[in-house]
Amino acid sequence: MDDYHPHHRRHFTGRTCSLHLDQVTAQATEIALQRAAQALHEGRLLNPTEAMAVALGVDRDKETLYSLARSVAWETGGDLNDILCRLGEKYPDFS
């Protein structure tokens, strides 16, 4: 682990995104990616360290990749894990 780099976290966690998404999850993933891009642009997307502050009651108006994926999955019926995995690929510093 001496050559561990935070941008390669995914390789050490063993998470691999599904190659074939069903239509609902593919559409949900696009919605989630758009929301994540908007939250990042507006300064509302939290990395895991910042998310700890939310757990302590600070910055409740901000988002995490999980909160975005969860809300889109509930709204659309898409697969939460697949949506979250794709968000983590797109925004590794926030996963």
Domain ranges of the chain: 21-94
**Total length of the chain:** 95
Pick the more confident residue, 6 or 71.
Answer: 71
Give the model confidence (pLDDT) of 55-79 as tens digits: 666 666 778 888 899 999 999 999 9
Share of the chain above pLDDT 90, in %: 45
Average pLDDT over residues 28-34: 94
- Please give the C-alpha separations between residue 38 and each of 8, 15, 62, 69, in angstroms, as whole numbers: 24, 25, 12, 14
Question: Which amino acid, residue 40?
Answer: L
How far from each other are the two terminal CA atoms of the chain, in whole angstroms?
Answer: 19
User: Can you give the pTM of this predicted structure?
Assistant: 0.64
Cβ proximity of 86 and 26 under 8 Å: no
Question: 35-39, 46-50, 56-60 — which is least confidently predicted?
Answer: 56-60
The secondary structure of residue 95, as a DSSP letter, is -
**Local confidence band at 19 (pLDDT 50, 70, 90 cut-offs):** confident
| Helices vs. strands in the chain: H and E counts, helices first | 5, 0
* Whole-number average pLDDT of the chain: 80
> Is it the case that residue 54 has pLDDT exceeding 90?
no
